[in-house]
Amino acid sequence: MHGSSASAVTAQRFIDYLYENSFTPGDKVPAERTLMTEFDVPRSTLREAISVLEVLGIVETRPGSGTYLRSTTSELLPETLSWSLLLSQHTFGDLLDVRTALEVEIARLAAARVSEELLEALGETLSEQRAALNAADHEEYVRADRDFHRQLSEACGNSSLEMLSSTVRSLTRVWRDRRVDSIEEIRKAYNEHRAIFTAVLGHDADAAADAMFAHMKSAKRRLMETLIAPQE
């Protein structure tokens, strides 16, 4: 197993482990070294699996303390199949298609409905992305990237689309945050965001939708590459 496919399998095994060992809400899970031995995986794979479970709301990591169970074990059993489907590589590609459809429509509506306040916020976030690019600051770029899409979804004026896109972005977050791991990839993503912003600023709905579709196509390529990238 390689890349995020390995972490997805590990996340599913982690869910089974929690249920089989009767963990209860608030229980602290074993230390990393113990879990690495239990699942026979490297630290990088284990940490990414834990990130997946955090996104799904199953565990929470407390800095300086450890990782703790959030859901009850009775909730884990009926949900295991759903989580397994969401974490599978095949379904992940389908999930990205759903995200593309949502984000394209959000961009189209945002171009027509964006407020001056959100236009200003989007412009500031784009400037933050540019600064992160110039500073080669991956973490800062990822934060600004999240803010850009969140602000754009707010600008579309449709609460249902905003909620759905937020959920899908959360489910893909563990992979999405790794997709821009080089200066060249950050530059490409920044330029794609700039094209979207320019179209929204000009209230050109078709151009905004086209720019977002191009961005999502590029992002999907980067995301799918993380699924086959070897773990260290």
Question: Residue 72 CB: number of other CB atoms within 10 A?
Answer: 11
Q: Write down the pLDDT at residue 230.
A: 47
**Range 135-138 contact pairs with CB under 8 angstroms and sequence separation of 24 or more:** 136/183, 136/186, 138/180, 138/181, 138/186
Stretch 128-152: mean pLDDT, rounded?
Answer: 93
230 touches 2 (CB < 8 A): yes
φ, ψ at 151 (rounded to 5°): -65, -40
Q: Write down the pLDDT at residue 32.
A: 93
The reported pTM is 0.66
Q: Give the span between the Cα atoms of 167 and 165, in whole angstroms.
A: 5
Q: Which of 101-105, 131-135, 159-163 has the lowest mean pLDDT?
A: 159-163
Region 3-86: CATH code: 1.10.10.10
23 touches 69 (CB < 8 A): yes
Q: Report domain extents, the chain.
A: 3-86, 89-228
Tokens of 106: 């959000």
**Confidence class for position 223, pLDDT limits 50, 70, 90:** confident
pLDDT per position as a tens digit, 187-221 = 999 999 999 999 999 999 999 999 999 999 998 88
Question: How far lies 218's CA from each of 88, 112, 179, 181, 222, in Å?
Answer: 21, 24, 10, 14, 6
Question: Residue 32 CB: number of other CB atoms within 10 A?
Answer: 14
pLDDT per position as a tens digit, 101-130 = 999 999 999 999 999 999 999 999 999 999
Stretch 160-166: mean pLDDT, rounded?
Answer: 88
Stretch 35-63: mean pLDDT, rounded?
Answer: 88
**Confidence class for position 139, pLDDT limits 50, 70, 90:** confident
Q: Does domain 89-228 have CATH number 1.20.120.530?
A: yes
